[in-house]
Amino acid sequence: MSEPSDTEDDIPFNRDFALKPGIAEEVVPDVRRVLCDNPSPFTFTGTVSYIVGRGKVAIIDPGPDSEAHAKALLDAVRGETVTHIFVTHTHRDHSPNAARIKAATRAPVYAEGPHRASRPRFESEKHDPESGADRDFHPDVRLRDGEVVAGDGWALEAVTTPGHTANHMAFAWKQRSILFAGDHVMGWSTSIVAPPDGSMVDYVASLEKLSRRDEQLYLSGHGPEIPDGPRFARHLVRHRRAREASILHRLAKSEADIPTLVRAIYIGLDPRLSGAAGYSVLAHLEDLVARGVVLTDGDPVIGGRYRLAS
C-alpha cells in the first residue's frame, strides 16, 4: 500500500508493469507471480502474489478476499502441491485470501502473527487509519526473525520488517539472493506508514536493516521487481529524512496542523490521497514529538497543532 508523493525524483521508481491480472508469469526461475485485479491509487495495478518452487510449492501473499484471484492461483499450480502459504502482513489486500487457499490446499499459513498496532490508540483518535487491517487473520505458524522454513528445493528466511504494519515480515531466499519484500519496499512508490498500525521509527529501522543484507533482487507486493534492493532501500531512507526536513522547514515558519503540513509538502496531491498523506505526516510527527524536536498539546494526532520545540 503506497504513500502519496509530492516529488521523489531522487528515487529510481519503475512504474512500467505490464503484467495482466490472473496470468502466471515466471519472473525468475522457480518464482512465478500472479496479479490480482484490484487496482487503486494505493495498490497500483493490484496485489502481486508469488509462487515459489516447482512441484511442491509455496504461495506468498494470496491477496484480498477474491474468489477470482484464488482461482487464478490454484489454476497456476494445477498438478502441483501447495505445501506452504506465507503472508507478509495483515492488510486486506494481502492476507484475507489465505483462508480460501488453505481450504483448497490444506497448506499451513506462516506469518509473523495476527494484526496488532504499533502503539496503543489514543482516546482522541476517533477514526481508523486508512490501513485496511485484516483483524480476522491468524496464522497456523508464527515465525520469528531469522527462522528458516524449507520446502522442496527452496528455503525462506523470516525477516521482521515492522513499520508499514507492526507485524510486517519479508522472506529471504538467500541462495537465490531474492527478498520477497511485501509492502515494505516497492518499486513503483513509497509505502504508507499510518499510525497507530504503522511506525515511522520502525519503518526506517527496517529499511536500514534490509540495506545491510545481501539479497539483491526485491520482489514486492505491488509493481515490478527491484534489481538493486539494498541501494533502493537506502534511497527510501534518504527520502524519509528529506520528508522530515520538509516538515521542520514548514514548522519553522509557524505552528501548523497536519492538513496545513500536507498542503505545504504534497504539491498537487490527488484529493483522494489526502487522508493517507496526513497519516504519513503524523507518523513523522510522532517520531519528532518523541524525540523532543516538535511539541504539541495533548496526544500527537491528526487533529493536533504542532510547533518547533525551540
Domain membership of residue 174 as a residue range: 25-240
Kindly state the cell numbers that stand for 157: 528466511
> Which uninterrupted H or E stretch holds 229?
helix 229-251
Confidence at residue 126, expressed as pLDDT on a 0 to 100 scale: 59
- What whole-number distance in Å separates Cα of residue 96 and Cα of residue 62? 8
- Segment 55-71, tens digit of pLDDT: 999 999 999 999 999 99
Statement to judge: residues 34 and 143 lie in one domain: yes
Confidence at residue 6, expressed as pLDDT on a 0 to 100 scale: 45
For residue 195, say if its preceding peptide bond is cis, omega within 30 degrees of 0.
no
Q: Which of 260, 213, 257 is nearest to 234 (CA)?
A: 213
Statement to judge: residues 89 and 173 lie in one domain: yes
Confidence at residue 273, expressed as pLDDT on a 0 to 100 scale: 82
Statement to judge: residues 109 and 213 lie in one domain: yes
Statement to judge: residues 206 and 137 lie in one domain: yes
Statement to judge: residues 171 and 92 lie in one domain: yes
Statement to judge: residues 205 and 289 lie in one domain: no
Q: Which of 158, 218, 206, 172 is nearest to 33 (CA)?
A: 218
Confidence at residue 300, expressed as pLDDT on a 0 to 100 scale: 81
3-state secondary structure of 58: strand
Confidence at residue 130, expressed as pLDDT on a 0 to 100 scale: 46
DSSP string across 176-208: GTEEEEETTS-SSSPBP--TTT--HHHHHHHHH
In this structure, what CATH number is given to the domain that contains residue 174? Answer: 3.60.15.10
Q: Is 167 contained in some domain?
A: yes
Confidence at residue 10, expressed as pLDDT on a 0 to 100 scale: 76
Q: Is 135 contained in some domain?
A: yes
> What's the number of domains the chain is made of?
2
Statement to judge: residues 135 and 167 lie in one domain: yes
- Segment 124-143, tens digit of pLDDT: 665 454 458 999 999 999 99
- What whole-number distance in Å separates Cα of residue 65 and Cα of residue 69? 8
Q: Are 198 and 118 in contact (CB under 8 A)?
A: yes
Q: Is 2 contained in some domain?
A: no
Confidence at residue 103, expressed as pLDDT on a 0 to 100 scale: 98
> Which uninterrupted H or E stretch holds 105?
helix 97-105
Statement to judge: residues 143 and 275 lie in one domain: no
> Which uninterrupted H or E stretch holds 72?
helix 67-76
Residue 114: partners with Cβ closer than 8 Å, 6 or more residues away: 90, 135, 137, 138, 139, 167
Q: Which residues of the chain have pLDDT under 50?
A: 6-7, 127, 129-130
Instruction: For strands 48-52 and 148-150, give the pairing.
Output: unpaired
Q: Which amino acid makes up residue 139?
A: P
Phi, psi of 232 (to 5 degrees): -65, -40
Q: Is 1 contained in some domain?
A: no
DSSP string across 279-298: HHHHHHHHHHHHTTSEEESS
- What whole-number distance in Å separates Cα of residue 90 and Cα of residue 113? 9
Kindly state the cell numbers that stand for 39: 487496482
DSSP string across 234-253: HHHHHHHHHHHHHHHHHHTT
